[in-house]
């Protein structure tokens, strides 16, 4: 990785930009390169590239949620597992609660909607690098309520399922098809299909309608 023209110091924030849209990615790289105390350590356009170029020397990753070869949520989870000290700031077009919740649960420390002005971007990067969590107040309150409710039901509702499988089952029980679940959880359609297949197998049910019946009997898929 090139350090650019700036000299590397202990106070510099080393940033990686992960986005599959080259115009946005290069624009973000150009912006970050103008900020004092920051250097662009790497950039990537896919999950595979992100996993390859982001190492333990990177402080903050700016992560898009929709990448060409997969989900930024999955990329975030895998990077944070590899580098626990890494801070991920999601920068996305998605403003829905589900995308925010999925990102936070994967380990993201910040969530910024594309279209934020340069001052907001700089403030968010510095705050996340300093260990702060950057979320919009109203959205954050709803997200925390959502996750708290999810945690409360985990010990008793289908303990054989993973957290993600339980989320998928809940959306199945609400009547969402795989394409809708894919958009709401920012997962690839193939990943959603795999989760649904795993849920059916673990619950021992033959098809989706049977899984919906089981889920609703257990209290999933019901509006609160």
Cα gap 32→45, rounded to integer Å:
17
Query: What are the pLDDT digits (tens) for 201-223?
Result: 999 999 999 999 999 888 888 76
- Give me the pLDDT at residue 149, please: 55
28 in Cβ contact with 62 (< 8 Å): yes
Residues 206 and 158 in one domain: yes
Residues 30 and 73 in one domain: yes
Residues 111 and 201 in one domain: no
80 in Cβ contact with 54 (< 8 Å): no
Residues 128 and 168 in one domain: no
Burial class (CB in 10 A: 0-12, 13-18, 19+), 52: exposed
Q: Indicate whether 149 belongs to any domain.
A: no
Percent of the chain with pLDDT over 90: 48
- Give me the pLDDT at residue 223, please: 60
Q: Indicate whether 224 belongs to any domain.
A: no
Residues 56 and 160 in one domain: no
Residues 6+ apart with CB under 8 A from 53: 1, 16, 42, 43, 44
Residues 129 and 58 in one domain: yes
Confidence of residue 98 (pLDDT cuts 50, 70, 90): confident
Residues 6+ apart with CB under 8 A from 130: none
Q: What is the mean pLDDT of the chain?
A: 84
Q: Indicate whether 38 belongs to any domain.
A: yes
Q: Which of 48-62, 77-91, 115-129 has the lowest mean pLDDT?
A: 115-129
Kindly list the distances between the CA atom of residue 165 and the CA atoms of 171, 195, 213, in Å, as whole numbers in the listed order. 10, 6, 16
Q: Indicate whether 27 belongs to any domain.
A: yes
Q: How many domains does the chain have?
A: 2
């Amino acid at each position: 990785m090139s350090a650019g023209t700036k000299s590397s110091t202990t106070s510099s924030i080393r940033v990686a930009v992960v986005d599959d849209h080259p115009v946005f990615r290069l624009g973000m790289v150009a912006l970050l390169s103008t900020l004092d105390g920051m250097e662009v350590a790497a950039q990537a356009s896919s999950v595979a590239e992100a996993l390859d170029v982001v190492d333990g020397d990177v402080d903050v990753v700016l992560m898009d949620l929709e990448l060409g070869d997969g989900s930024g949520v999955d990329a975030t989870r895998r990077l944070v597992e590899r580098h626990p000290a890494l801070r991920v700031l999601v920068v996305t077009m998605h403003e829905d609660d589900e995308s925010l919740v999925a990102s936070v649960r994967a380990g993201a420390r910040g969530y910024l909607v594309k279209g934020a002005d340069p001052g907001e971007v700089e403030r968010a990067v510095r705050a996340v690098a300093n260990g702060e969590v950057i979320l919009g107040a109203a959205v954050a309150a709803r997200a925390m309520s959502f996750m708290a409710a999810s945690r409360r039901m985990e010990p008793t509702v289908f303990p054989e399922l993973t957290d993600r499988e339980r989320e998928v089952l809940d959306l199945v029980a609400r009547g969402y098809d795989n394409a809708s679940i894919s958009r709401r959880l920012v997962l690839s359609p193939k990943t959603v299909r795999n989760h649904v297949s795993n849920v059916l197998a673990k619950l021992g049910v033959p098809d989706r309608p049977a899984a919906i019946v089981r889920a609703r009997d257990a209290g999933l898929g019901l509006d609160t």
